[in-house]
Homo-oligomer: A and B are copies of this chain.
Amino acid sequence: MYFRQKKVEELLEQCQIFKNLNAQEMQEALQTFHYQVKKYQKGDILVHAQEVVVQQLILLQGDVKSEMTSFDGKLIKIADLKSPRILAPGFLFGNHSHYPISLTASNSCEVMAINKENFLSALQKNAKLQLNFLNLISNQTQFLTRKLNFLNFKTIKGKIAHYLLNSQKRQQSNPITMDQSQTKLADLFGVTRPSLSRAWNDMNHSGIINSQGNQIQIIDLKALRAFLG
Using a Cβ–Cβ cut-off of 8 Å, how many residues does chain A contribute to the interface with B? 43
Please, which residues of chain B bring their CB within 8 A of the CB of A82?
none
Q: How far is the CB of A208 from chain B (nearest CB, A)?
A: 15
Q: Which residue of B lies closest to A144 (CB)?
A: B144
The answer to whether B170 touches A50, judged by C-beta atoms less than 8 angstroms apart, is yes
Counted per complex, copies of this chain come to 2
Q: Per-residue 0/1 for A146-168: is the Cβ within 8 Å of any B Cβ (1 yes, 0 no)?
A: 11110100000000001001100
The answer to whether B142 touches A97, judged by C-beta atoms less than 8 angstroms apart, is yes
Any chain B CB within 8 A of the CB of A124?
yes
The answer to whether A71 touches B228, judged by C-beta atoms less than 8 angstroms apart, is yes
Complex CA gap A143/B100 in Å reads 11
Q: Per-residue 0/1 for A30-41: is the Cβ within 8 Å of any B Cβ (1 yes, 0 no)?
A: 000000000000
From A2-10, A107-115, A132-140, A199-207, give the one contacting chain B.
A132-140
Question: A140 and B139 in contact (CB under 8 A), knowing A98-B170, A225-B71?
Answer: no
Complex CA gap A169/B71 in Å reads 10
Interface of A is mostly: helix
Please, which residues of chain B bring their CB within 8 A of the CB of A228?
71
Please, which residues of chain B bring their CB within 8 A of the CB of A165?
71
The answer to whether A90 touches B169, judged by C-beta atoms less than 8 angstroms apart, is no
The answer to whether B151 touches A91, judged by C-beta atoms less than 8 angstroms apart, is no
Complex CA gap A52/B145 in Å reads 16
Q: Which residue of B lies closest to A68 (CB)?
A: B149
**Which residues of A come within 8 Å of B, CB atoms?**
50, 71, 90-98, 100, 120, 123-124, 127, 130-131, 133-149, 151, 162, 165-166, 169-170, 225, 228
